[in-house]
Structure 1
């Protein structure tokens, strides 16, 4: 059994065609994720998950031989990673593009009151929100000044300041920042 080194590394498809295919799939999936699945998962953004899935699939095809060469897989993976790096760079440099590419921060609680419309927008149930509040040590919604869904999917909670007469020396958020 001999190894055909040329066939293993030679392109079976035109590299430009691979780049166009990779670009088309990347743009389509990015559109779908940004339009229909705006809620990010944990500290990993949707674009990160998208790249991970596409790169894994492209690399798997190159390794398993569905493409005829490793070179095909390298071009496709490089195209996908290139788009991701370019978008990250452009979002970093351009506030306008950042607004388009990253979901905005969304207020979920204001002065102890739920904002049901915003919860619905993120498909977040009251039980899920309360679980997140408990992670921050809050059991009563009245203790929340504000809660936000961040662009990375995490929930940030700002507690109401305690009454300084009943809790001397406790300070508040502003005192801790000095």
Structure 2
């Protein structure tokens, strides 16, 4: 087999595996990386490098692998834009965390969002009390959006951090 065709097939297989793995384990976990996440990414990249290029350590082999990864990524994004069902399959759904001041403890527990993380997101949005939150959403990219009834309140952007502490502490 042509060594570059081998690199293309291997790279495509690894990319598709990684897409499926991230879909199963959750993209929300990548919204903001902690030390363990960075280590995991480094180890995964090292583990799959040989699976993609095999013995081909040439410059053209590396460029072929990178080109395949960029092409598949571009194609998947176009498919998600064009086909809603495919997009729904590939992307997580936004989740309501607080509605009219009422916390959804079941969803918070399922998503491993602690009270400290939720309070931090509220402070980032200038909100002090749960009762002041009209709607808090965990967006598909892992960000927490906070909406209040206060029209003068400046809305900001908060990135959720992955946290492995006990679930929903101190609520």
Q: Tell me if TM exceeds 0.5.
A: yes
Kindly provide the CA deviation profile for residues 49-92 of structure 1, in whole angstroms up to 9, marking residues without a partner as x: x8xx85xx85xx98xxx733111111111111111000111111
Question: Following the alignment from structure 1 to structure 2, what is the Cα–Cα distance between the partners of residues 87 and 105?
Answer: 20
- Closer/same/farther in 2, CA of residues 73 and 109 from structure 1, 3 Å limit: same
After superposition, residues 1-178 of structure 1 pair within 5 angstroms as 14-42=3-31, 67-161=56-150
Asked whether the 8 Å contact 2:102–2:131 carries over to 1, the reply is yes
Q: Which runs of 5+ in 2 are unaligned?
A: 34-40, 153-171
- Closer/same/farther in 2, CA of residues 43 and 128 from structure 1, 3 Å limit: closer
Question: Following the alignment from structure 1 to structure 2, what is the Cα–Cα distance between the partners of residues 23 and 30?
Answer: 11
Question: Following the alignment from structure 2 to structure 1, what is the Cα–Cα distance between the partners of residues 92 and 26?
Answer: 10
**Shift of the alpha carbon at 1:43?**
8.0
Asked whether the 8 Å contact 2:7–2:61 carries over to 1, the reply is yes
Question: Following the alignment from structure 1 to structure 2, what is the Cα–Cα distance between the partners of residues 15 and 98?
Answer: 31
Q: Which runs of 5+ in 1 are unaligned?
A: 1-12, 45-49, 163-169, 171-178
- Give the TM-score normalised by the residue count of structure 1: 0.68
Question: Following the alignment from structure 1 to structure 2, what is the Cα–Cα distance between the partners of residues 109 and 94?
Answer: 30
Which one scores higher on RCO, CA 8 angstroms, separation ≥ 6? 2
Question: Following the alignment from structure 1 to structure 2, what is the Cα–Cα distance between the partners of residues 94 and 121?
Answer: 28
Question: Following the alignment from structure 2 to structure 1, what is the Cα–Cα distance between the partners of residues 150 and 120?
Answer: 21
Tell me how large the CA RMSD over aligned residues is.
Answer: 3.1
